[in-house]
Structure 1
């Protein structure tokens, strides 16, 4: 991925970019698991998530409240002897399905092959094995054939923000059949790990540039870079810089849908966006998921996971 650099005027305001807001909302293990269960198992009640995830009442209540505040869930009343409330995905929440499928696809390909359930494409009956495509030309798209141009206010301080929750560590680091793999949780479930990967996609390579760009403490950056190497996402080079491996570059599929959702759904200061262009056709980022079996676009209502 090529990054276009330029003079960036200092932002007078400290509002987060859309991508920064998305990381603040989604960069949490419990949030990802709550959303996953909402899509896969159609869980809508407090008790349903508590029983499925083994999460404490206080933590669950806090995460659900935030998801409602961010208009990803909405509260709806229903009758079951007496009036109760359930959490339903809004249109903004439903539009996250492609991001969650992209995470699943990366996991099957790079993190835990063969363990996770297949995604069946109802239109052709085949195993979808989805891959990232360009909405403009409908051809496969990867980090290597895209170009990123930051807006004039798309500065790294607009990506990070103070941590809202303590970092969640699940016992043993092993997920169940429907849980996300430890690799994904190490990247997406921690906002600094995700921010470091975003910076790497934008061309940052050296420790000092990660530190100054992200405003991250040296000890935290050292830990996150070490983890990225252990996960096989990046390689340290003799000159002290880091480069993304094939596994790390493949995570661009998730990154593409994160950018698309954030910049489409979340308000942000003008000039703080990233423009991603597909080199072969020149189209601005419009990511779609394509079915390996038939080559057609995958739509939310036309796919299902084979959980048996």
Structure 2
């Protein structure tokens, strides 16, 4: 979306109380344990003991994340035994529909992150029988798209500060906003595991580049802003570029690695608008000028070109169990 420029005058829109779909959606899904619980549930896990066996987290953290996902309607807690009382956690339609986000995250990590503390197996497309990478396409014209191909503007409920992700859980991040050493999604969490990092990357896609503009538009404290920008540069998401008009000034621009994270952002935006959107309208409106339509993203297989569904994707489970098939 870099060709769009909703910040042309860099004015700050009036702040409205509350949050919008972007704030709620990115806040809820920007937590590593929640993402991995959803991934395991898509792979068919449903019992507390199964989650506990495959995630190196405490009972308190696991219980907290499951309670959050139940409260937010992504998972339903069902009792399957009264004596003794035992429950299972089953995905709702809202939870099942996160598979494009998780697929995009996995594809980006495989392509751009060279080291993982845990095994990161390839994704396999059952329909064509090949390992694949997801490709984001326009649902109207079916052409592959990148952020550069799209135009974006704030919708009726949009705004810079309204769109900063909510903090629904305590995030797993290092002191500089980078992921901890044993993170499953190290660079994804560097982007989405901190609310300010997520907001900064989103603003960079909307052509905000200067330190003062990030600070003014988002309302982030300067010390924290410097820390998050430094962390994103260390991860190779952003880079400092000297301006031609003021060589003593630096701008922060997305690298190719940073631009490549766009499918994760696009699928999260669509999920957020569908499931936690406002009746007053979308937070952001994205169009594909090449075909003139409102943008709706569709993931396809890079090997056969067919539209992906969750039921056709095979993944290795985490961290070391045999691969199974996610639900559609």
Same fold, TM-score > 0.5, yes or no: yes
Structure 1 portions without partners, runs of 5+: none
The answer to whether residue 54 in structure 2 is matched with residue 52 in structure 1 is yes
C-alpha distance in 1, partners of 2:85/2:234? 50
1:16·1:269 contact (CA, 8 Å) conserved in 2? no
C-alpha distance in 1, partners of 2:215/2:12? 18
Deviations 1:82-132 (A, max 9, x none): 341111110000000000000011111111389621211111112222111
2:153·2:284 contact (CA, 8 Å) conserved in 1? yes
Match of 1:138 among 137, 142, 167: 142
Map 1:107-122; keep pairs closer than 5 Å: 107-112=109-114, 116-122=120-126
The answer to whether residue 23 in structure 2 is matched with residue 15 in structure 1 is no
Which moved further from structure 2: 266-275 or 165-174? 165-174
TM superposition shift of 1:81:
5.8
The answer to whether residue 174 in structure 2 is matched with residue 173 in structure 1 is no
- Matched with 1:233 is 237
Match of 2:35 among 32, 36, 42: 32
Which moved further from structure 2: 221-230 or 122-131? 122-131
- Matched with 1:293 is 303
Deviations 1:14-65 (A, max 9, x none): 121101101221112221222222223x222222222221211222211111
Map 1:118-267; keep pairs closer than 5 Å: 118-160=122-164, 163-169=167-173, 173-175=181-183, 179-180=184-185, 182-238=186-242, 239-267=249-277
Cα 1:261–1:161 change in 2 (3 A) is closer
- Matched with 1:3 is 4
SS at match of 1:154: coil
TM superposition shift of 1:251:
0.6
Which moved further from structure 2: 278-287 or 73-82? 73-82
2:23·2:166 contact (CA, 8 Å) conserved in 1? no
1:9·1:153 contact (CA, 8 Å) conserved in 2? no
- Matched with 2:314 is 304
TM superposition shift of 1:260:
0.5
Match of 2:71 among 50, 69, 80: 69
Which moved further from structure 2: 96-105 or 210-219? 210-219
TM-score by length of 2: 0.85
Match of 2:293 among 267, 283, 288: 283
TM-score by length of 1: 0.90
2:137·2:143 contact (CA, 8 Å) conserved in 1? yes
Which moved further from structure 2: 90-99 or 20-29? 20-29
Task: Give RMSD over aligned pairs.
Answer: 2.3
User: Paired residues, what number?
Assistant: 302
SS at match of 1:237: strand
- Matched with 1:96 is 98
Structure 2 portions without partners, runs of 5+: 243-248, 323-328
2:123·2:313 contact (CA, 8 Å) conserved in 1? yes
C-alpha distance in 2, partners of 1:95/1:102? 13
C-alpha distance in 2, partners of 1:205/1:224? 14
Q: Which of the pair is proportionally richer in helix?
A: 1
1:120·1:306 contact (CA, 8 Å) conserved in 2? no
TM superposition shift of 1:184:
1.4
Which moved further from structure 2: 58-67 or 88-97? 58-67
Which moved further from structure 2: 101-110 or 159-168? 159-168
